Amino acid sequence: MKLVILGLSLSSSWGNGHATTYRALVKALAAQGCEVLFLERDVPWYAQHRDMPNPTFCRLELYESVEDLKRFAGEIASGDAVIVGSYTPDGVEVGRWARKVATGPVAFYDIDTPVTLAKLGRGDEEYLSASQIPDYDVYFSFTGGPTLARIEQEFGSPAARALYCSADPELYRPVDAPLRWDLAYLGTYSEDRQPAVDRLLIEPARQAPDMRFAVAGPGYPRSIEWPANVERIDHLAPGDHAAFYASARFSLNVTRADMAAAGYSPSVRLFEAAACGAAVISDEWEGLEAVFAPGREILTATSTGDVLAALSMSDDVRSSIGAAARRRFLAEHTPDDRAAVVVRELAAAGRRVRATARPRVAVLDRPRAALVAGGAGFLGSHLCDRLLDEGWRVTCLDNLLTGSLSNLAEALRDPRFDFLRGDVTEPLDGLLYGRLFDRVYNLACAASPPLYQADPEHTLLTSVVGTKQLLDVARANGARFLQASTSEVYGDPMVHPQPESYWGHVNATGPRACYDEGKRCAETLVFDYLRAGRGDARVARIFNTYGPRMSAADGRVVSTMIAQALAGEDLTIFGDGTQTRSFCYVDDLIRGLMALMECAEPIDGAVNLGNPDEFTVAELAERVILATGSRSRTVSKRLPVDDPKRRRPDISRATEVLGWRPETDLETGLSATVAWFRRTSAVADAQAEMA
């Protein structure tokens, strides 16, 4: 499940209980396989006090304003679910926007339910408005019990569910520490809680001057007169909480007044203390018994006398209460238990959303999203760059067999770009789970003969199984599909130049067949998909293309010759050099691919994309020597099996239907390619690989 959470803070636990709650929950969600993006408003207070700026269990991103938040629209739209938390700055607007953009369920997570309901009662809509509650698919509430029925009946929530807080068992566990205090309390100052703190800690401290007490937490006014036996600690980092609990014989738990009044509202501190095996003395409220058994797992107190009586208990009783609380915590209240509630309820909400077929308004609002299989290769990486330039969100799926991340250096810096390492012959559901695409480009397949012949079976399956699977992805998304086919489907052609209507002359048993026949079969799959009415798809028959990012070592004629010329080596010509090729510059080709994909009219049949200017291989060698200024000569080698003798596209169809034709002549394209080869270490890499 891909989940986006918009919450108050994950990065800073200073002065809020939200961060530790989110940390425990998100970590457990991640452990259960959820991919979480946490979006936090960058505000000065938290910026100055970040105690977890780089969580390892999720991606944390900061945003400046609601406007700035909109750059995450694509991720919200493609996520499986969204959660908006209480006290999120501009929460009403953020929630409405998330509701509009998301395509899956959107939940509200109220870490402050009684406060929220009290606010709504007096018309204060700081982070939630009453009118938007019915629009949240689930209302996760820190308060359980009868309040849930109220949220559903009075406010119209379709599903109000208790989601109590918890504590991270790795951080909150029994530790060894010398006993320093008889009673310790950990909590930020709050006016409504202070009378209980006075009654249950300060007054007992006065009455038991021989005992030691501690109060940790920020915000306490200077006017409070602390007895001499009460130690004050202003801020205690979460990493020090366990030692704090271990240093006291008893821990005090005081619940905010409105939470105590609502009942069924256990505080974070209650679970943290229990997880540490602390013997907790808690104030009393309805529903406490639903969480811990009073008298056995927890002690309760309403008066100073109750506290003093508890403090006089033997260490054996005290330890057994702490141990029982920890057992109950581990059995029912761990973050894993809470994460399971979230996953279960969001999945159920997702089913409800799908059943009522909410119109996917978001598809219109979010940046359009493209999947580029084979996007790390020569052509694929140029396509990714061009799509990003034109405002697309791009996911590249590649096994890096012949492609490289260095081709994607620029794209990887763009937040709208995702790289997924995967093989199109393997199941794709898990890898692509929860992503939405409007376009699926299939360029996955090694294109250079020595590389595709290295593992012919895998090459064939890449074209056949890969194309079938990517067509399924397109179908599931309602996305348009484009297959990068090849002039090789014409084999060693008997018709010249080759129009799309030519059926080809291909050897089905030779060493090139894994590529040629694989591509032919992929075309068959696409046209059967179209005939069956499963969706919109296009096929580009690409002719020889060259340009920056070709690998010098992959055996393709242009890159091989440039690498040889720059290294001062003889240029290899296979056969007598009279065989012809037409060379299309990469920018022209990518423009053609995108024009074909974006053509509004359905396209009947394949479309040739290539440059019709035909050159012999010997002429190409001369041009390369000229463009590089090299002193290299040419040398002949035996023609490989099934090497086509003539290759030139008839592009009248592309020109007619797409208004496309190449614009870069060979001289210009070669000089840009040579410049790139000079700039990069491509030649050196090739030599290293050849050595």
| Amino acid identity for residue 587 in this structure | D
Query: Nearer Cβ to ligand NAD, position 304 or 463?
Result: 463
Among 301, 444, 594, 682, binds ligand NAD (CB under 6 A): 444
Residue 537 found at the interface with ligand NAD (CB under 6 A):
no
* Rounded distance between C-alpha atoms, residue 23 and residue 288, angstroms: 24
Residue 682 found at the interface with ligand NAD (CB under 6 A):
no
Residue 466 found at the interface with ligand NAD (CB under 6 A):
yes
- Name residue, tokens 């919450």: 7
Residue 380 found at the interface with ligand NAD (CB under 6 A):
yes
Query: Nearer Cβ to ligand NAD, position 306 or 488?
Result: 488
Among 78, 141, 304, 462, binds ligand NAD (CB under 6 A): 462
Task: Name which of 497, 495, 581, 481 is nearest 540 in CA terms.
Answer: 481
* Rounded distance between C-alpha atoms, residue 553 and residue 638, angstroms: 19
**Which runs of E-coded beta strand occur in 526-665?**
537-542, 545-546, 571-574, 580-582, 584-585, 607-609, 614-616, 634-637
Residue 385 found at the interface with ligand NAD (CB under 6 A):
no
Query: Nearer Cβ to ligand NAD, position 242 or 471?
Result: 471
CB of 652 to ligand NAD, least distance (A): 19
CB of 563 to ligand NAD, least distance (A): 15
Query: Nearer Cβ to ligand NAD, position 406 or 507?
Result: 406
CB of 554 to ligand NAD, least distance (A): 7
Across the chain, which distance is largest between two alpha carbons, in Å? 107
Query: Nearer Cβ to ligand NAD, position 105 or 547?
Result: 547
Residue 425 found at the interface with ligand NAD (CB under 6 A):
yes
* Rounded distance between C-alpha atoms, residue 619 and residue 317, angstroms: 95
Query: Nearer Cβ to ligand NAD, position 160 or 443?
Result: 443
Among 74, 85, 374, 592, binds ligand NAD (CB under 6 A): 374
Cβ atoms of 300 and 281 closer than 8 Å: yes
> CB under 6 A: which stretch of 177-185, 441-449, 631-639, 665-673 binds ligand NAD?
441-449
Residue 383 found at the interface with ligand NAD (CB under 6 A):
no
Query: Nearer Cβ to ligand NAD, position 141 or 545?
Result: 545
Residue 112 found at the interface with ligand NAD (CB under 6 A):
no
Residue 498 found at the interface with ligand NAD (CB under 6 A):
no
Among 143, 402, 579, 628, binds ligand NAD (CB under 6 A): 402
- Cβ–Cβ contacts within 10 Å for residue 626, how many? 14
> CB under 6 A: which stretch of 185-193, 214-222, 353-361, 376-384 binds ligand NAD?
376-384
- Sign of the torsion angle spanned by Cα atoms 504, 546, 662, 466: positive
Among 118, 341, 361, 400, binds ligand NAD (CB under 6 A): 400
> CB under 6 A: which stretch of 5-13, 169-177, 334-342, 537-545 binds ligand NAD?
537-545
Residue 561 found at the interface with ligand NAD (CB under 6 A):
no
CA atoms within 13 Å, Cβ hemisphere of 363: 12
Q: At what angle do helices 378-389 and 586-598 cross, to 10 degrees?
A: 60
Residue 377 found at the interface with ligand NAD (CB under 6 A):
yes
> CB under 6 A: which stretch of 27-35, 144-152, 394-402, 412-420 binds ligand NAD?
394-402
* Rounded distance between C-alpha atoms, residue 137 and residue 158, angstroms: 6
Alpha helices (H) in 80-193, listed in sequence order:
91-101, 113-121, 146-153
Residue 291 found at the interface with ligand NAD (CB under 6 A):
no
Residue 437 found at the interface with ligand NAD (CB under 6 A):
no
CB of 320 to ligand NAD, least distance (A): 59
- Cβ–Cβ contacts within 10 Å for residue 351, how many? 11
Residue 376 found at the interface with ligand NAD (CB under 6 A):
yes
Cβ atoms of 522 and 463 closer than 8 Å: yes
In this structure, the strands spanning 138-141 and 106-110 are: parallel
Eight-state DSSP code of residue 568: T
- Sign of the torsion angle spanned by Cα atoms 600, 604, 606, 609: negative
Query: Nearer Cβ to ligand NAD, position 166 or 399?
Result: 399
Residue 443 found at the interface with ligand NAD (CB under 6 A):
yes
Residue 470 found at the interface with ligand NAD (CB under 6 A):
no
Residue 297 found at the interface with ligand NAD (CB under 6 A):
no
Write the CB contacts of 156 (distance below 8 Å, at least 6 apart in sequence). Answer: 133, 134
In this structure, the strands spanning 230-233 and 81-85 are: unpaired
Among 34, 349, 379, 617, binds ligand NAD (CB under 6 A): 379
* Rounded distance between C-alpha atoms, residue 204 and residue 434, angstroms: 56
Catalytic residue among 172, 490, 515, 546: 515
Residue 484 found at the interface with ligand NAD (CB under 6 A):
yes
* Rounded distance between C-alpha atoms, residue 68 and residue 296, angstroms: 51
CB of 266 to ligand NAD, least distance (A): 49
Give yes or no: 515 in active site.
yes
* Rounded distance between C-alpha atoms, residue 571 and residue 320, angstroms: 85
> CB under 6 A: which stretch of 360-368, 370-378, 565-573, 594-602 binds ligand NAD?
370-378
Secondary structure (DSSP) of 286-332: TTGGGTS-BTTTBEE-SSHHHHHHHHTS-HHHHHHHHHHHHHHHHHH
- Interacting residues toward ligand NAD by CB under 6 A: 373-374, 376-380, 398-403, 423-425, 443-447, 462, 466, 484, 486, 542, 544-545
Task: Enumerate the active-site residues.
Answer: 515
